[in-house]
Amino acid sequence: MGRGYNISEIKFRLIKLLRNSKIGISGVEISERLGINRVTMTKYLNIFSVEGIISEKSIGNVNLWFVQEGIEQLKFPDDYFRVSDMYIEYLTKCSESAVNNLIRNCLNSEVNVIRLMTEVIQPAISKIQKNYDDGKIGKIEEQLMKNILSKSIQIINLHQQNLENEKNIIIISSDTQSVLDAQIASAVYHSQGWNTFFLGDMSLSFDVLFDLELTKLLSKIWKSKQGLMIILVFSKADESLKFFSESFYSVKGKNDDNLYLIISGKIGKKVNIKSDLQTEKLDDILQWSQTKFENI
């Protein structure tokens, strides 16, 4: 009977069911009340538990499921402004649990991840930076807030998605200042069904062995070279973008028609850096990637 449901619908119905129970519900009863066979329901219960939406407790000889505290359903697009204010408020208070629960609630309510990034996460990054520049917070507090923000982005990558084998992307930050931008891109691509390989800050990898390491990585995660593979590099400096560009084209072979490089960062007018796309706009990067995939 569970075949007619998608994962979002099951999640919505499960949260509603558990929220109305103060004593918890067993897996067998959940299966019966939702009309989903036990094996399928057990799989989803484990997935939602990993996502931090529900938890299991042993009471006597029975294992009961509960919805996690703070989990609620939001209504989009009406709640984007509300969520943005709440996100900044929780960050300002350095309340990691509240921030994480808010992101989980957004995902459980079928939020548009691109809008979540552009209307909630990115404005929060700017707010943190402004507060630091204005002297309202110190360096330690700024770093703590950024760490909390970073962890909340990572929650999106744990969210269950139907990934497509032919859509692949490696995302790199070439400096510490660009890590959050790279993490945001990683979360957005993941939400769109891409196999995302986030390498984080690679500024310490600027050496003659990088070409060899990149070749090894591609041979491992893109063995058959089927579908599309994109390497997306974020940076605040021309020099590092130039390094990754030169490394990429020394690795790309004559038959690697579906291997592309995107660089995102401010590039001086007199600086010539080769790539397939150069832009700071995430929407443009995503649209270009999807168009390339549709045309392979």
The H or E element that residue 215 is part of is: helix 210-221
DSSP string, 152-180: HHHHHHHS-----TTEEEEEEESSGGGHH
Where in the chain are the domains? 2-67, 80-158, 167-294
What's the alpha-carbon Rg for the chain, to the nearest Å? Answer: 22
**Which of 54, 27, 61 has its CA nearest to residue 42?**
27
Strands 167-173, 54-59: pairing is unpaired
pLDDT tens figures, 183-227: 999 999 999 999 999 999 998 888 878 999 999 999 999 988 889
**Which of 18, 92, 26, 91 has its CA nearest to residue 62?**
26
Dist CA 42 CA 63 (whole Å)? 12
**Band (4; pLDDT cuts 50, 70, 90):** low
pLDDT tens figures, 7-22: 778 888 898 899 888 8
pLDDT confidence of residue 3:
53
Mean of the pLDDT values across residues 38-44? Answer: 92
* pLDDT above 70 for 173: yes
pLDDT tens figures, 53-110: 899 998 888 889 998 877 787 889 999 999 999 999 999 999 999 999 899 899 888 8
3-state secondary structure of 36: coil
- Give me the residues paired with residue 67 across strands: 54
pTM: 0.80
Residue type at 187? A
3-state secondary structure of 234: strand
CATH-assigned architecture of domain 167-294? 3-Layer(aba) Sandwich (3.40)
Residues 6+ apart with CB under 8 A from 201: 173, 174, 175, 176, 178, 179
pLDDT tens figures, 236-252: 888 889 999 999 999 99
Give the strand order in the sheet containing 62-67: 25-26, 62-67, 54-59
**Band (5; pLDDT cuts 50, 70, 90):** low
* Tokens representing residue 11 in the block: 């999640």
| Fold of domain 80-158 | 1.10.1240
How much of the chain, in percent, has pLDDT values that exceed 70?
Answer: 98
**167-294 has the same fold as 2-67:** no
For every residue of 131-153, which 3-state class applies, written as one string? HHHCCCCCHHHHHHHHHHHHHHH
CATH of span 2-67? 1.10.10.10
pLDDT tens figures, 94-147: 999 999 989 989 988 889 999 999 999 999 999 999 999 999 999 999 999 999
pLDDT confidence of residue 237:
84
Rounded to 5 degrees, what angle do the CA atoms 244, 249, 250 make?
Answer: 95
**Band (1; pLDDT cuts 50, 70, 90):** very low
Dist CA 21 CA 12 (whole Å)? 15
CB of 287 closer than 8 Å to CB of 230: no
pLDDT confidence of residue 288:
97
**Band (2; pLDDT cuts 50, 70, 90):** very low
